[in-house]
Structure 1
Amino acid sequence: MTAAPDSTPSRSDRLIDAAFRALLAVARALPYRIRIPVAGWIVSRIAAPIAGWTERIRENLAHVCPDLPPAEVARLVRAVPDNVGRSMIEMYSGQEFADRQRDVPLLGEGVEALAEAKRTGRPVILVTGHFGNYNAARAALVAHGYQFGGLYRPMKNPLFNAHYVDAMQRISSPLFPRGKQGMGAMLRFIKSGGMLGILLDQHMGHGAPLRFFGRTAHTATSAADLALKYDAAMIPVYGIRKPDGLGFDVVVEAPIPPSDPMTMTQAANDSLELLTRQHMDQWFWIHRRWK
């Protein structure tokens, strides 16, 4: 996901989108409990090696966890893309996926802070990462009566971007594309006391040189900047996949104390790192996080 999509799809764009839609149609025809693990298997066994994800996972792990046993590396090479495949088809399962999060309780020290913000109309910046399935947290929060807006990066492929945004909107809205197009609407949403979700775990060339897994990881401070400017609570939230591979725990951590953007963003990185170390197979080790 990078810049705003071009309005004219290329031949390659059309072929990729057609292939994805065909795969999606086959997956959706399966019962939900079969659909999810099948999608995980396809991505981990077929798509990941073809896309070069297998080597990228190994490279990232070698960079930040060089002492990881070879057997664990081999497990993660399979398990990480499996979680990606499951998360993808869950998002494209729309209401069926959202309905399964309806009765999921909110856990963690930040639940009361979240409720207090709702009662008082204080805006909230929810920070998370490509971990577990963040859409499970979105769906659970909506089911608990929270209006959840999201900031996203449009896909390069305009055809893919169209159904990607549609799938996200079926879980919660409003959605705001990064850049000038969505900035004004996003700021109005925050000022009105809205709850905005931001993923902080992608490399940002102009981001702050913070730490993640003991290495320099350039990270956008935008979440902390917004929290400080608009007196919003900055709260980490995660959808943690359960061992059965289908259900989730939604954890709302204690708010990050207001200080300065770099300190607050580092706290968010530390939160995600701690959780990832507990569930190594649930973070998106495919990202080029350390450039």
Structure 2
Amino acid sequence: MTPPTRRDITPDDTGTDTGPGSTTPPKGRMSRLLHMLARALARQGFDGIARYGNALGALLWHCLPGRRRLAVRAIADHLGVSQQEARRIARESFSHNARSFLELVLVGQFGFELMGDRLIIDNPDRLRRITASMRPLVAATGHLGAWEFMGSLLGRWQPDRPRMVVVRRNSNRTLNDFIFAMRGARGLQVVDHRNAVFTVLKGLKRKGCVGFLVDHNCRRNEAIFLPFLGETAAVNMGPALLAVRAEAEVWPAFIIREGNRYRLYIDEPLDTATLDGDRNDKIEAVARYYTEAVERAVRAHPEQWFWMHKRWKTRPKQDD
């Protein structure tokens, strides 16, 4: 199979009806304001969002000195670079992170059939293997590059099969509903992580594809502790557990910015059905696999990762 084309998209399967291009107004004054702002920003296009993102990143760099110091220190400690180089990488990362935030309003405009030569497929053969696969698929990515657009691609992947992404819910309901609507603008089902297990397993059993962000800190009761960028980190075991239970293939994938273009990288998959050992051994093997994939991507493109996050906050019990 090949990625869907524009003519495959019909009014019945384009996802949420509250995205930037919707004619159905969302409920609530603040919600309407957010969607109006999203539509105004979306009209600026990819180049406009890049400019606004760079400006917002510069503003955040100056207004968030604590996060600035955290990012510089984390880069120097985990990449082994000088303070000057760490500061340069950190400043660029603020701009990339701001662009990622604003790119949320463009999710509905990003896709294989929409981007032309602005979207580069690094390994077309792996993409063909994914689209041809009849196995349950787990897509593992991180807060790196244009990560919001992974949902755009996943949302149009084989519309007759379940496509979903698991995310953490925002405590502000209006903001959370807005974010969920933006992320679902291409037909993706956005699943609250607190209620994910049954929904995800059901989707995977129907040979669906589920995306996870696997690079952020988590609570100790959710974690396996593994090396990440030279230091032990709490790695969320949830995606690994669900992949093992569904005997899914695990595909790490990342969208990296290259000027005004985007490059999709897809790693070789891990087939959980071939793993040896008991369930715990398999879960650790999967978690280690996607953590190492994220580390390789971060080392290759450090300026595009979310360094201001307290990635190594949760410690193993012996560190208490």
What TM-score do you get using the length of structure 1 for normalisation? 0.81
Distance 1:96 1:39 in 2: 17
SS at match of 2:306: coil
SS at match of 1:217: strand
- Identity of paired residues, percent? 19
Partner of 1:107: 122
Q: 2:53 aligns with which of 6, 19, 39?
A: 39
Distance 1:21 1:53 in 2: 29
Q: 1:59 aligns with which of 73, 77, 96?
A: 73
Partner of 1:208: 224
Structure 2 unmatched runs, 5+: 1-29, 276-281, 314-320
- Structure 1 window deviating more from structure 2 (263-272 vs 131-140): it is 131-140
RMSD value over aligned CA atoms? 2.8
Partner of 1:218: 234
- Is residue 130–residue 199 contact of structure 1 (8 Å, CA) maintained in 2? yes
Following superposition, the deviation at residue 78 of structure 1 comes to 1.5
Q: Does 1:192 align with 2:206?
A: yes
Distance 2:32 2:188 in 1: 26
Distance 1:158 1:50 in 2: 26
Q: 1:124 aligns with which of 94, 116, 137?
A: 137
Distance 1:164 1:285 in 2: 22
Which residue identity does 1:227 align to in structure 2?
Answer: A
Partner of 1:284: 306
Q: Does 1:152 align with 2:174?
A: no
Structure 1 pair 161–252 and aligned structure 2 pair: CA distance change class (3 A):
same
Q: Does 1:271 align with 2:286?
A: no
Matches within 5 A, 1:161-200: 161-180=176-195, 182-200=196-214
Q: Can you list the C-alpha shifts for 1:264-287, whole angstroms capped at 9, x where unaligned? A: 211211111111111111111111
Partner of 1:80: 93
Q: 1:89 aligns with which of 102, 105, 111?
A: 102
Partner of 1:5: none
Partner of 2:146: 133
Q: Does 1:239 align with 2:249?
A: no
Which residue identity does 2:168 align to in structure 1?
Answer: R
Structure 1 pair 193–28 and aligned structure 2 pair: CA distance change class (3 A):
closer
Q: Can you list the C-alpha shifts for 1:61-84, whole angstroms capped at 9, x where unaligned? A: 23313x312332121222101111
- Is residue 110–residue 235 contact of structure 1 (8 Å, CA) maintained in 2? no
SS at match of 1:284: coil
- Is residue 79–residue 281 contact of structure 1 (8 Å, CA) maintained in 2? yes
Structure 1 pair 96–130 and aligned structure 2 pair: CA distance change class (3 A):
same
- Structure 1 window deviating more from structure 2 (99-108 vs 252-261): it is 99-108
Distance 1:57 1:80 in 2: 9
Structure 1 pair 20–30 and aligned structure 2 pair: CA distance change class (3 A):
same
Q: 1:248 aligns with which of 262, 269, 293?
A: 262
Distance 2:81 2:93 in 1: 15
- Is residue 224–residue 261 contact of structure 1 (8 Å, CA) maintained in 2? yes
Partner of 1:68: 81
Structure 1 pair 133–35 and aligned structure 2 pair: CA distance change class (3 A):
closer
Partner of 1:9: none
SS at match of 1:150: strand
Q: Can you list the C-alpha shifts for 1:226-246, whole angstroms capped at 9, x where unaligned? A: 12211111111111111x1x3
Which residue identity does 2:298 align to in structure 1?
Answer: T
What TM-score do you get using the length of structure 2 for normalisation? 0.75
Q: Can you list the C-alpha shifts for 1:76-97, whole angstroms capped at 9, x where unaligned? A: 2221011111112111124234
- Is residue 257–residue 263 contact of structure 2 (8 Å, CA) maintained in 1? yes
Distance 2:210 2:33 in 1: 33
Distance 1:211 1:19 in 2: 43
Which residue identity does 2:174 align to in structure 1?
Answer: L
Following superposition, the deviation at residue 17 of structure 1 comes to 8.9
Partner of 2:25: none
Following superposition, the deviation at residue 142 of structure 1 comes to 4.2
Distance 1:78 1:165 in 2: 29
Structure 1 pair 28–136 and aligned structure 2 pair: CA distance change class (3 A):
closer
Which residue identity does 1:188 align to in structure 2?
Answer: K
Structure 1 unmatched runs, 5+: 1-15
